[in-house]
Chain A
Amino acid sequence: MRGAPPLPTPRGELSEALVAALGGRGVTRCLEPDSAADEALSLWILYELHHRGFEGVDDALEWDPALLVCRAHLEHDLEARWRRRARAVVTPAQQRCEAGEELAPVFFDLCETDTGGGSIASFLQREADLDQALAVLRQRSIYHVREQDPSMWTLPRLDDETKAHLVAIAADEYGNGDPTRLHARMWRRGVEACGLDGGYAAYVDQALPEVLEQVNLMSMLGLHRRLVPAALGHLAAFEVTSAVPSRRVARGLERVGAPEEMVDYYREHMVADAVHEQLAVRRMLGSLVAHDPDTLPDVLWGGAVCLLAEQATATAVLAHVGAEQESAVA
């Protein structure tokens, strides 16, 4: 595809084999990943075939059976791991709903679960210097160049009402018909004003495994029709946990003297996401669960995955940029 990113640098045996196969240098071999980084990058590569593909790679490989087998294998492990990890957050919320409580307050409370680690937004607000802030932005770019894209895969699979509510949120994310207001475009303007590379997947070679896993989870939830409720739960939790942190980030970026374009990106989100969180929880999730009450457990699971994956990313990114907490990490 035109404008697709180049294949990333492999980080282990499996990603090496995948990069070779995609580059036409060998057949697909579904090896065991030899590290968390190898595993996360391999799955990121396989998912990227469904997003924009890679420069010089045959677009038909998106549906190559051998690659799909490999993807299914990695996804199976990823889903099982995050089902286990999220149980302690999901169970109490589910019990409240089963006891007759409304979804909205339960979901908002779930999004305030103390996940027990540092916050990137608070670090940027109070402590980071400009270099550390830029290091954070490089890691964040893996997500922000796509933003809501993976959740758009759910659209044809939704009932009419839920679909209309998702589109109302998405219209705003995608600029309400004005490409210059598209959030991913505003991101690009911001990072380029900071002197960083605004290109799609520009920093994938530097991305921490936790950062890759965070976006892999979104691709997994979005691609599988079976996981539609979790994809929407994830999207809603992302909106719920965005407005207040965006304000903290905006303050921090102002403090270190980051360019206005970059601060604007976060200013836009502190107001936009205060609207989106209400629309997402009350209307979108409300209509999804009303339409099919069996979706409730996965709605909550998707929300929990969003929170816990952000916590994993935050812990890794804060250590990576040398934030104070690093000394506490063994």
Chain B
Amino acid sequence: MSSRTGRATDEREVMLCADGPILLPGPVTVEDEDGVKHHSERPVVAVCRCGATGSAPWCDGSHKLVRRDAGPRAVPRPRRSGSERPLEDY
């Protein structure tokens, strides 16, 4: 956030949240790994980085369940390591 002052007016800011999603200004279209395009009209969107979301490509807070399963302080990696479904009986 230190670059707030003096940036060009059309410059967009994205934010990588520790242990969480990436925040992008919207409206935006995100193309996923399979080439499928997802559009959102929200002023800000959160894109999943942990791979555990049930609403891909958008974050739905599931990184917290991954973190909890992996033990305290574990940092979720950008790619999913296994096929675990943290939200049981989802």
Contact = CB atoms under 8 A, between A and B. Distances in A.
A274 B60 contact: yes
A279 B62 contact: no
B64 A105 contact: no
User: How extensive is the interface on chain B, given as a class?
Assistant: 20 to 34
A171 interface: yes
A251 interface: yes
Secondary structure of the A contact surface, majority rule = helix
Contacts, number: 69
B17 A282 contact: yes
A112 B45 CA distance: 23
A275 B18 CA distance: 14
A119 to B, nearest CB: 13
B32 interface: no
Given A105-B18, A278-B20, A278-B46, A251 B60 contact: no
A271 B19 contact: no
Given A108-B64, A271-B58, A277-B61, 9 more contacts: A126-B89, A242-B61, A244-B62, A247-B90, A251-B90, A270-B55, A274-B58, A275-B59, A278-B20
Interface of B: 15, 17-21, 23, 41-46, 54-55, 58-62, 64-65, 68, 87, 89-90
Interface of A: 104-105, 108, 112, 125-126, 168, 171-172, 176, 242-244, 247-248, 251, 270-275, 277-279, 282
